[in-house]
Chain A
Amino acid sequence: MIPGAFDYHAPGTLSEAVTLLRQHAGDAKLLAGGQSLIPAMRFRLAMPPVLIDLNQIEGLEYVREDNGHLAIGAMTRESALEESGLVQSRFHLLADAARVIADPVVRNRATVGGNIAHADPANDHPAVMLAYGAEVIALGPNGTRAIAIDNFFVDLFENALAEDEILTEIRIPTPGANSGGAYVKMERKVGDYAISGVAVQLTMNGDTCTSARIGLTNVSPTPMRAKQAEQLLVGQVVTDERLEAVGAAAAAECDPSPDLRGSAEYKRDVTRVLTKRAIRQAVERATS
């Protein structure tokens, strides 16, 4: 399994990268961690004539708190999330996800930006970022712009970035008081994509859920929020009956494809079960 030939560029700055991207419009792929792209190239499922490697650009690997949000540099390795005290102590949903993405060696190389920009509903970060209501920062020839995560995932493997834009940062709003989050993923074994995964971020006022966002992994052609489930949860006391209704709504609104992981019916039901579990965990964290 040998990749096809390509031209390789390793710009040292973002502006060089943007220039190269414009020069090779249509031909170039950005290379971040490469943990999805390089296997695809080895199978020659992807044969980009030009690769622009972002790994030599300084200053894209960071996890820090800025003005009410967590800022994650696009080239931050997944393992850095596991090692970040900030993430572990205050961003539980993200911390949950960071432990179950691929496997530990892959997480040393894979990047948060790449995981999101790939716009693969099977990846874990899209659902997580949807649940957080994150923002994606893109740099193009005309400067930077912020894209709400709700507008970022356009289709399978298709994001809202223009051809000459580069994802540079992800911003996650710092959860307020009485907030909690959780990611519950069911995988067949370590390293597998999810049969289903549910990301929940919510705020509680006593027993009542005052806000909630739910993202789903690998049960739809495009990364999705379970909006009907959210609606059934917000403003409600979180009882077992309520959870059942919320889970059932998530199961109904997702759109999984049958494959070796299971039938669509099975994946829907697992989504129902995991939605309940993720909410329970998030509520526990919000109220403890």
Chain B
Amino acid sequence: MSQHKITVTVNGQAVTQEVESRLLLVHFIRENLDLTGTHIGCDTTSCGACTISLNGRTVKSCTVFAVQANGGEIETIEGVAQGGQLHPLQEGFWEKHGLQCGYCTPGMIMSAKHLLAHNPDPSEMEIRQAISGNLCRCTGYNKIVEAIQYAAAKLNQPTPEEVPA
């Protein structure tokens, strides 16, 4: 089995490590980097608890090898809040009670972030479809949808510079 030295930018920070070829990206993130916000919920690429962003697209990090991320950019839930400010999605999940046990939440937020980056004003059905690769067992999804709608509305508000004086 081969060992590989990989360099990955994770939440803006470059890290270099030696990894076994079979190391799953999710284990690299959780165990090698101690970023435990990314979770594991299944073996079949079904649940989406391990969803992260790799090179600008969300992927299920249990179904990518760490070595494949070499040279790439990763964003995990730990990188979503910037400068101590919660992201509007994080605010939305909190405001709208979009989580209960919190286990699926990081993956949900990553999927929602990907959606809003590509479709800033999604319909309810588009939101439901966009998070259909992420299973939640607690919330019944209504409030997750509301949380994403909250974030979309907030992100679509004109920034102060755009507001005419």
Contacts and interface: CB of A to CB of B under 8 A. Distances in A.
Interface of A: 1-8, 10, 31, 34-35, 38-39, 41-43, 51, 53, 55, 77, 79, 83, 102-106, 108-109, 190-191
Max chain A Cβ within 10 angstroms of own Cβ: one of B20, B65, B111, B134: B65
Contact of B21 (A2, A34, A51): A51
Q: Is the interface of B mostly helix, strand, loop or mixed?
A: mixed
Given A5-B21, A7-B1, A10-B70, A109 B132 contact: no
B68 A105 contact: no
Contacts of A38: 45, 63-65
B57 A35 contact: no
Given A10-B70, A104-B129, A105-B111, A39 B22 contact: no
B132 A35 contact: no
Nearest to A190: B132
A10 B2 CA distance: 12
B13 interface: no
B67 interface: yes
B59 interface: yes
Contacts of B111: 104-105
Contacts of A4: 22
Residue among A6, A35, A41, A103 with the highest chain B CB neighbour number at 10 A: A103
Contacts of A7: 1-2, 21
A102 B60 CA distance: 12
A105 B20 contact: no
27 contacts: A1-B43, A3-B22, A3-B24, A5-B20, A5-B21, A8-B2, A10-B67, A10-B68, A34-B63, A34-B65, A34-B68, A35-B63, A38-B45, A39-B63, A42-B62, A51-B21, A103-B133, A104-B111, A105-B48, A105-B59, A105-B111, A105-B133, A105-B134, A109-B57, A109-B60, A191-B46, A191-B133
Contacts of B134: 105
A79 B65 contact: no
A35 B2 contact: no
A108 B59 contact: yes
Given A42-B43, A106-B60, A5 B22 contact: yes
Nearest to B40: A1
A105 B51 contact: yes
Interface of B: 1-2, 4, 20-22, 24, 43-46, 48, 51, 57-60, 62-65, 67-68, 70, 111, 114, 118, 129-130, 132-134
A102 B45 CA distance: 10
Given A34-B63, A108-B114, A191-B46, 8 more contacts: A2-B22, A3-B24, A8-B65, A10-B70, A39-B43, A39-B63, A41-B22, A190-B129
Which residue, A2, A31, A105, A108, has most C-beta atoms of chain B within 10 A? A105
The 3 closest A-B pairs by CB, nearest first: A103-B133, A5-B1, A8-B21
B113 to A, nearest CB: 12
Nearest to B25: A38
Contacts of B114: 108
A106 B64 CA distance: 11
Which of B57, B68, B111 neighbours the largest number of chain A CB atoms within 10 Å of its CB?
B68
Nearest to B132: A190
A211 B46 CA distance: 39
A101 to B, nearest CB: 11
A165 to B, nearest CB: 23
Contacts of A102: 45, 133
Nearest to B51: A105
Contacts of A109: 57, 59-60, 63-64
Nearest to A40: B44
Nearest to B111: A105
Contacts of A83: 118
Which one of A4, A55, A102, A104 has the greatest number of beta carbons of chain B within 10 Å? A104
